[in-house]
Amino acid sequence: MSELPPTPRPEQRLTRRRQARAGTRVEYRRGLLGLGRDLAVALIDLSEDGLRIRLTTEVKPGEEAEVMLGRPGGGKAMKAEAEVRWCSPIGDGTFLAGVRLRRRLAYRDLTDLVS
């Protein structure tokens, strides 16, 4: 009997994370309408298909959100729909969350946002 190749787990990253460029702005709002309070403190790192964000409050896996990414130095901000994959307390009253973007960032947009 031959073994089947392992199937990737849903939480595995598809691309390499890269550190966010200084001055990159992020907003995180619950739901897909972009309404409500911005919960983002900082963008930690990102890849073509996801972000790691520091938030002011805990979010639940599976929760939908609208994320806005602002380029350092200005320019048009990018809005994206996302889904929370995981969330953990940091210990200082904030939370670290991993979100997966519904649509991948274009390479040109990604290079504007990373170091």
Structure-block tokens of residue 71? 């380029």
- Say what the alpha-carbon torsion angle 29, 96, 113, 66 is, to the nearest 10 degrees: -20
The pLDDT profile of the chain, 115 residues, written as one tens digit per residue, is 445 444 444 545 566 788 887 888 999 999 988 788 999 999 999 988 999 999 999 999 999 999 999 888 777 888 999 999 999 999 899 999 999 999 998 888 877 777 7
Looking at CATH, the fold of the domain delimited by 24-113 is given as Thrombin, subunit H (2.40.10)
Contact 108/83 with Cβ under 8 angstroms? no
Domain locations in the chain as residue ranges = 24-113
- Which residue do the tokens 């990018």 mark? 78
- Say what the alpha-carbon torsion angle 77, 60, 37, 24 is, to the nearest 10 degrees: -30
Give the Cα separation of 82 and 79 in Å (integer).
10
